Amino acid sequence: MRTLDDVVDGLGVGVGQYLIVLFGGELFSGLIKTLATVTSTSFARDLGFTSLERGWLVSMLFLGNFAGNLASGASSDYWGRRATLLLGYGVAVASLALSMSTSSFSSMILCRTCFGLAAGLMGPTSWALLGELSPSKNRMLMHSLGHGTWYVGAITILALVHFEDPTMQDVPWKSFTALTLTIVVLLSVGASFFVVESPSYLSVHGRRDEALEVLETVRYRNGVEIDVRDWQARSTEVQTSGSFSYMALFTRANLYTTLTLCVGTFSLNYSSYGMMYALPIILHSSKLELVPSETMMLNLFFGLIGLAVSLPASAASHSRVGLLGGVLLARAVCCVLFLVGLWTNNDSTLNVAITLFGVFGKTLLDSIAYVLIYLYAVEVRSTESRASSSGMALAVGRLGGCIAPVVFETLPYSPSSFVLTMCILALACAGLVLGLPVETKDRQLGDIAAESTPLPK
């Protein structure tokens, strides 16, 4: 029997998927999250906010991201991937426009929350859509490219900041916000024209004719000659009438996987977004004599290197789970090296090298882990709850990004104690990941959905 997965595999990789990568929302996420974190010092000073208010403004962005991720899963699985993505862009444009004309703390809290809400709505939606339209052996590639657009957005902001003020203490955040708004408007228009609905979603909801139209569109964009009409839906890909997409995540067979994905994304967000907020402050007050803007840009470039390394690493590995567990263990070691550098706190060549190895190594491994864990969250569920699986994992992860700035500002003996919590979380999620029961590497989504694995003893 020829299935929808066989048709998607036959479509290959081409313009049809690259358009989703470009307009899927990660470029906006990289722009807005970097803008909010690296301009926080000058932003708070210009508007007369305290350091604690500065921390809350960054944290509220991630709280909005948390709400958006939760809403995205249910919305994408109920109303569709495309509609949810366009809704996210609408919220992004409206909130960015409002932030240009307001200055009170309460209104800025609202704008920052909506920034995160928009990114949160688009994230799980784009990951689910990419997973459902990518061939089985190319899902890692497409997710890596999607994460790459996040880095493009982040590096764009950091480059502008570097050329304006390398110390990151006096940044023209208003002009950078206006530039971000212009880019997001263009992305919104592109998404409305070029992003298609998921054929898997349409098939599950009995809209086969629309699914065929989408497959024809992708076939035309990719320039391949295959029959996209002769296929059958799998019995496991039929939605239960009246079911709630999040309920499938908490059955006995799926609970361990759901818990592990949530802990893993929490650890990654706590360390990566916490570092975006804390690293400029740490470097400015330390004795390492490092330029904050240059260090931050180099840090992001190591994230891009991690994405490039993730592809051959995935191809060489025999297990998605084994590779992710190894990456998370190595990441914990890098956190320890960064902690050692902070404890020593001098500008000797050895100490600077240890510190930078810890920072850059952690970022490189973070980017690999992000791709693997986000992809696994999509692969391991069936169509009816695929976006909800991604949304739940990402939502809990955003809580890590949400609390990290406030924890950094309030934790005693910070920043060393802040980095110590990163080390503990890294070890915890590495141990949990190695117990994941389902292997997903290079398997068709329908085959994975049909597999039922009980909780490991």
Q: DSSP code of 3? A: B
Closest alpha carbon to 395 in 28, 25, 73:
73
| Phi/psi at 171 (5° precision) | -100, 135
Does residue 457 form part of some domain? no
Question: What is the enclosing helix (H) or strand (E) of 75?
Answer: helix 51-78
Tens digits of per-residue pLDDT, 139-182?
Answer: 999 999 999 999 899 888 888 887 877 766 677 878 888 999 99
Does residue 191 form part of some domain? yes
Give residue 100's pLDDT.
Answer: 84
Does residue 216 form part of some domain? yes
Does residue 456 form part of some domain? no
Low-confidence stretches of the chain (pLDDT beneath 70): 167-169, 235-245, 285-289, 292-293, 413-414, 452-457
DSSP-H helix ranges across 345-438? 349-379, 386-410, 416-433
Does residue 384 form part of some domain? yes
Give residue 237's pLDDT.
Answer: 62
Does residue 286 form part of some domain? yes
Give residue 413's pLDDT.
Answer: 66
Give residue 295's pLDDT.
Answer: 80
Give residue 34's pLDDT.
Answer: 86
5 Cβ neighbours under 8 A, 6+ residues apart = 136, 234, 444, 445, 446, 447
* Distance (Å) of CA 247 to CA 37, 42, 73: 35, 44, 12
Point out which residues pair with 232 in neighbouring strands: 3
pTM for this model (two decimals): 0.84
Residue 227 to residue 232: CA distance in whole angstroms? 13
Residue 53 to residue 38: CA distance in whole angstroms? 15
Give me the CATH number covering residue 32: 1.20.1250.20
Look up the domain containing 314 and give its range: 4-238+245-450
Closest alpha carbon to 225 in 233, 216, 214:
216
Domain count, the chain: 1
Does residue 374 form part of some domain? yes
Residue 270 to residue 422: CA distance in whole angstroms? 7
